[in-house]
């Protein structure tokens, strides 16, 4: 059995870069929930669906948030023409206000008959709905930032009906970044995400 003293001596002998690597592996950055990638396998026979949370921000103060949404068909097989839809729902809050925007954005893939080739779609801005029904021809300007203190992005992936053994692998992603990212602990010389070691 290795004694605690032996471990301390061994760790003291490690070079600084090795210790830094160990710390970075065990460290969870404050923004580790600000984006993620998920993947599912859909069965066209069952017109299956899946729902995942992709991002969650509890920033502690309001800010403007840029975003990137993406979806990708990774592969599969289809013996009928079907559709795959990736729908993003957004929940935002500031102070005592909370809003949920269902179908905030969606990607639609037309899947042809045969092997499914990889294809990707992405956006960094979304199109808001028409705001004046008396002027339906007036298109609202695209939205490229979210004003919020709390942000949650969830995605639902679903397909239309197909045939037995028809499947499709789908990856879907979301990323968030604030316009102004100045953390209070930086003024105390603390960098919880090791951002002072960036290149």
Q: What is the pLDDT of residues 27-85, one digit of tens each?
A: 677 788 999 999 999 988 776 789 999 999 998 889 999 999 999 999 999 998 899 99
Q: Is residue 26 part of a domain?
A: no
Q: Is the distance from CB of 82 to CB of 160 less than 8 angstroms? A: yes
19 in any annotated domain: no
Closest CA to 73 of 2, 192, 154, 159: 159
pLDDT range class, residue 183, cuts 50, 70, 90: confident
pLDDT higher at 180 or 166: 166
Query: Does 10 reside within a domain?
Result: no
In-domain check, residue 104: yes
Domain ranges, residue 85? 31-183
Give domain status of residue 40, yes or no. Answer: yes
Helix (H) or strand (E) holding 138: none
pLDDT at residue 165, as a whole number: 81
Q: What is the pLDDT of residue 193?
A: 67
Q: What is the 3-state secondary structure (H, E, C) of 37-99?
A: EEEEEEEHHHCCEEEEEEEEEEEEEEEEEEEEEEEEEEEEEECCCEEEEEEEEEEEEECCEEE
Report CA 80 to chain centroid distance, whole Å.
30
Q: What whole-number percentage of the chain has pLDDT above 90?
A: 55
- Give the pLDDT score at 18: 39
Residue owning tokens 């068909």? 73
pLDDT of 197: 65
- Specify the number of domains making up the chain: 1
- Termini Cα distance of the chain: 40
Q: What is the pTM for the complete model shown?
A: 0.79
Share of the chain above pLDDT 70, in %: 82
- Residue 156, domain member (yes or no): yes
Asked if residue 74 is part of any domain, the answer here is yes
In a domain, 143, yes or no: yes
């Amino acid at each position: 059995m290795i004694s605690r003293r032996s471990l301390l001596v061994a760790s003291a002998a490690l070079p600084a870069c090795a210790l830094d690597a160990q710390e970075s592996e065990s460290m969870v950055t404050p923004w580790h929930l600000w984006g993620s990638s998920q993947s599912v396998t859909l069965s066209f026979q069952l017109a299956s669906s899946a729902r995942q949370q992709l991002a969650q921000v509890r920033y502690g103060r309001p800010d403007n948030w840029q975003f990137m949404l993406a979806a990708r068909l990774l592969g599969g097989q289809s013996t009928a023409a079907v559709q795959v839809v990736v729908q993003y729902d957004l929940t935002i809050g500031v102070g005592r206000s909370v809003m949920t925007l269902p179908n905030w954005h969606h990607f639609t893939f037309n899947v042809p008959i045969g092997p499914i080739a990889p294809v990707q779609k992405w956006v960094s801005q979304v199109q808001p709905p028409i705001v004046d029904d008396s002027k339906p021809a007036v298109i609202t300007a695209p939205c490229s930032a979210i004003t919020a203190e709390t942000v949650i992005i969830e995605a639902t992936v679903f397909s239309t009906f197909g045939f037995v053994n028809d499947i499709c692998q789908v990856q879907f992603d979301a990323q968030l970044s604030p316009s102004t990212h100045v953390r209070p602990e930086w003024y105390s010389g603390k960098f919880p995400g090791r951002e002072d070691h960036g290149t």
